[in-house]
Amino acid sequence: MATVVVVTSGKGGVGKTTSTAALGAALAQQDQNVVVVDFDVGLRNLDLVMGAERRVVFDLINVVQGDAKLPQALIRDKRIDTLSLLPASQTRDKDALTAEGVTRVIDELRDRFDWIICDSPAGIERGATLAMRHADTAVVVTNPEVSSVRDSDRIIGMLDAKTARAEKGERIEKHLLLTRYDGARASRGEMLKTEDVLEILSIPLLGIIPESEEVLRASNLGAPVTIGTPNSPAAKAYFDAARRLRGETLVVKVPPQRRSIMSRLFGRRAVA
């Protein structure tokens, strides 16, 4: 039984694409059959993060419009053979996606994979609603910032109203993935606390991903962090998140605060 996961956020730049790639790779490394689907038509990025940008021939739009067969458009990862990518088109826009076409593609993918992970575009318009349309589970990517939290709240409302499951009167499973978490800033009170984000959004926590060099470097090198640096704290957090998606119960670890040598030397100012 395949599970369709949408990775969504409302706001841009919070780490949807990075998280799609890292979670997809983590699941595939746990011997699951995974496809990651880029719904960001016109602004495709997932192919870059997956390191497959030079292998794209056909894309999601070609399949939706019937110009190519699904197997022609799927790109199998060279490092993990249970991981595939269905890229978006860079030359078209979101209007090229049709509801019927997307339904057909998702149905076809359900026959081939255990996990179908859809990378949603930012915003709440057509691209985002079509990406969430057939989801069984949603991963809501949020930064501990007020603007991101409010946009995520808006998206959760849409998940409960505009998905196929919601329209049938069923609930869609929703998980919070807190990304770009900076332990030092959090301890100085410059970011929202994890408890506050959870209280506002009131959905279960899938994981906390620390803001780290490894994640940024991995994206630029075309290797999801769970493949590129599998021992980094960020990769471990994604591996745990993948296991939680599969139904395991694990305690969520708050990433430790990394302190520079200077702040360790001059940590506290004496009381005058």
| DSSP-derived pairing of the beta strands 205-210 and 173-181 | parallel
Secondary structure (3-state) at 266: coil
Q: How far is the CB of 157 from another protein (least distance, A)?
A: 3
Nearest-approach distance from CB 136 to another protein, in angstroms: 19
Rg, the chain, Cα only: 19
State the nearest-atom distance from the C-beta of 234 to another protein, in Å.
28
Minimum CB–partner distance for residue 99 and another protein (Å): 22
| Closer Cβ to another protein, 71 or 157, answer by number | 157
Nearer to another protein, 144 or 224 (CB): 144
The residue (of 146 and 250) whose beta carbon lies closer to another protein is 146
Least distance to another protein, CB of residue 254, Å = 23
Interacting residue ranges for another protein, rule: CB under 8 A: 124, 146, 150-151, 153-154, 156-158, 160, 199-200, 202
DSSP strands (E only) in 59-156 = 75-76, 83-86, 115-119, 137-142
Instruction: Decide: 145 and 192 in contact? Cβ < 8 Å.
Output: yes
Which CB atom, from 12 or from 157, has the smaller least distance to another protein? 157
CB neighbour list of residue 100: distance below 8 Å, 6 or more residues apart = none
User: Would you give the distance in Å from CA 74 to the centre of its chain?
Assistant: 19
Q: Whose Cβ is closer to another protein: residue 154's or residue 246's? A: 154
CA-based angle 167:170:171, to the nearest 5?
Answer: 110
